[in-house]
Structures are given as structure tokens and as C-alpha cells.
Amino acid sequence: MNVNIKREIEAKVTEALKYFRVIYIDGARQIGKTTFVKTYKDSGFNYVTFDEEAMLNLAKSNPKLFFTTNPSPLIIDEVQKAPGIIDAIKMRVDENNQAGEFILTGSVNMFKSKKIKESLAGRHVKYEMYPFSYTEVNNYNFNLIDVLFEENYAKELINLPQRDEKFIISKLMSGYFPEIQNKPPNIIEEWFESYIESRITKDILDLTENNLRKADKIPQLLELLSKNTSNLMNQDNLAQTLGISPHTVKEYVKLLENLFFIKKISSYNKNKGKQVKKMQKVYFIDTGLVSYLTGISDDKLLINRQLFGQLLENYIYIELQKHISTSDQKLKIYYYRDVKKNEVDFVIENKAGKTIAIEVKSAERIGVNDLKGLESFHNNYKNNISAMYVIYGGQNISALDVNKMPVVLLPYRFFF
């Protein structure tokens, strides 16, 4: 990992340490959590990792001795391996009542557990980390989501370099995991093979304590999901293909979410009851994972525009999600689909209920017929819309009109 790449989460974590007793940072393995949290050793934090078996065993068997030999302020890496330590942390922070006492990291979303969530309620703040964002890699000093909510969106984007197709395809293929930046394709492929194998054979079995029925179906499910990325997820179809029950598929998908392989988004509807009932769309946390799992080649991606568009949409989604995670606004991301199946890829809503709508198209030219989803969304929610965008394959920032509201066309070449 390039240690010179500044992580955008740093400002939020540093600020939070002034007010919260516990900072919890989670995210997939190998995205740079350890490298990032170790920078706080310069601020006086001690550091331990539960990847070290002796340290893990001590924490499990004798938490009191563990904290005696590892005083706070303390960073605990991979804390999910000893979930029982959370109760001991709760007791310590309640006793000391000091901000910035613990930084915890995990490669599993422990806060899906009601018990852990309740143990640290009011005592912690949680952040999710991702592989590098394109703004981190390029050292751009702006938050994409904040820019897209502004009227003067072009000020940050118009002077950015526009990447050529070869560069874009290489980034879609390799993704943004820190460890493989600037590595040759054969090394990247070997890295992903090892990454996926270790996560499935070790982390999943550790997480489920070897209690998972038909675990051999998980690699097949992961491959099926990768081929369906950026699309609606039909659990019944997946179950039929895999020869397992829809309930088992649901549990496996939840597991893959908790391990940060995939993300799901729900449909946008102000009636929250209706929203929950619709199918969800699935995306991977990095397009490098999709490329490896589907066996896509550079040449195939060049000629198969449908495949390219599918991967591009996943790429844009995860870049939006990265910037949502570091924005000062409270934001949620959805997709939109009406009864006539007109769709908008992404709807991002802030706490005030204002939205931006984003459609991703790989085509170089966009016409009014390509805007039916945005038109439908505008007809239903025009009072809530701050801006509407199409991220497309053209060269210039431009605009079209939908019911007297501009739809801004932004070249996807700005986002690599």
C-alpha cells in the first residue's frame, strides 16, 4: 500500500476522537484499515491485533490482565475475533469516562448483533472504510456527493483530466484495493484468487464456527451475484440455480454483506412500507472482485458494451458510497423504479429529504428517450429534487431538459 495516500476518513475519525469514547472502523479485509489506524500511534495510542493468537487468547481468557498489559488509549485491530471483549470495553469506558479511549477495527459488521449495538450505545461512533476512492488515489480535495448537491457542481469537475478508454478499463478490471495498485494483471489475478479463498475458507467458517450447512455453495453464489451485479437480485432464482432453499440464499447473502463482499440497495419510495417489499439491487464493494469472479478480459470489456455498462454502474455506485461515508451530510442511497419499470440507477437523499438522481449510461450520446426514468422520478418527486445527472460516455459536460428541469450530462471519464 502506498502510505502517502491520505485517507478521506481521517478528518472524521480525528474529530470524533475528541467526543466519543470508542471509535469503531469496519470494512473488508485488505482495504488499509490497519495502515490507517497505526497512524494514531503517533498520537499516543498503543496497538494490538487479534490476528496474533497469543493476544487473542489473553483477551478471551483474561480481559482484566489484557487491559493491564495493554493500557488505553488503545487500538484493537480485528476486534470481531473476540466479541466478548466488548463488554469489558464498555465497563472500562464507563469507569474512565474519557473521549478517545479506544479505536477498534473489524472485518465483520459486528453491529448487526443487537447485543453489541446495545453494549456500546451512546459510547461509540462507527465508520465504514472502503478500498481507495478515485479522489484519494488522485489526491483530489473534494467530496463528490457534496459537489453534486451544489449548484456550482462544475467548478470541481470541469478541470479534471479525462481518462482514456484503456485506462478506464484497466481500473474497472483491477479495482482499488490498496495492495494491488500498479501491479501487473497476473499478480492481480493471483491476489484476488488468494483473497477470495482465504475469506471463504477461513473467515466465513470462523464467523459461523464451522456450523454452516452447504457452505460449498457460497463460492457459486458469489459468482452468480458477480454476473448479476448492478441488477435486481432474485433470491428464488438464485436458490433454484444453486439447489438450495430461498431462506438459505437469504442467509448466505446476509453473510456476504457482513463480510463486505457486497452491498444491497432498496428502491426509493417515500412510503417506507412499500419500499421494503420491492426487490433489492446488488453491487460489489470493488469492481476488481467482479472482474476476477466473472473472468472478464480487457478485450471482452472493450467490445461488450452491455458488460462494460454493468461494470461501470457498479464502479460509480461504490465511488458514490465511498463519498457518502466521508461526507458531513447524513445520506442514504437508493434506486428508483416505477410500475412501468422505468428506472433511475441511484437516488441519494439527505437528512432534509432533498435528493439527487443519477443515471449511468455507457453510450456517447444521450437523447430524450434515454431519460424516461428521470422523467418519471421528476414527475413523482419534483419538489424534493436538487439535481439530476446522467454519467455518460461523451466528452463534454452538457445538459438536456426534462419538464423544464435540466438533466446534467457528466462524462464518466471524470471519475477515474
Residue 181 inside a domain? The answer is yes
Indicate whether 331 belongs to any domain.
yes
Q: How far apart are CA 200 and CA 198, in angstroms?
A: 6
Let me know whether 157 and 104 are in one domain.
no
How many C-alpha atoms does 135 have within 13 Å on its Cβ side? 22
Same domain, 215 and 241: yes
159 and 277 in a single domain? The answer is: yes
- Kindly state whether residues 80 and 200 are assigned to the same domain: no
**CATH number, domain at 85?**
3.40.50.300
Could you tell me if 125 and 139 lie in one domain? no
Q: Is residue 2 part of a domain?
A: no
What is the span of the domain harbouring residue 276? 135-415
Q: Select from 83, 112, 129 the last residue of a domain.
A: 129
Residue 107 falls within a domain, yes or no? yes
The tens place of each residue's pLDDT in the chain, 416 residues long, gives 444 799 999 999 999 999 999 999 999 999 999 999 999 999 999 999 999 999 999 999 999 999 999 999 999 999 999 999 999 999 999 999 999 999 999 998 877 777 777 778 889 999 999 999 999 999 999 999 999 999 888 888 988 998 999 999 999 999 999 999 999 999 999 999 999 998 887 777 666 655 566 678 899 999 999 999 999 999 999 999 999 999 999 999 999 999 999 999 999 987 654 544 589 999 999 999 999 999 998 888 888 888 999 999 999 999 999 999 999 999 999 999 999 999 999 999 999 999 999 999 999 999 989 999 999 999 999 999 999 999 999 999 999 988 888 999 999 999 99
Q: Of 111, 129, 147, which closes a domain?
A: 129
- Any domain includes 5: no
Phi/psi region, residue 175 (left: phi>0; alpha: psi -120 to 50; beta: rest), is left
**Strands 405-411, 385-392: pairing kind:** parallel
**Separation between Cα atoms, residue 275 and residue 72, nearest integer Å:** 44
Do 162 and 121 lie in one domain? The reply is no
Instruction: From 129, 161, 182, give the residue that closes a domain.
Output: 129
Same domain flag for 241 and 308: yes
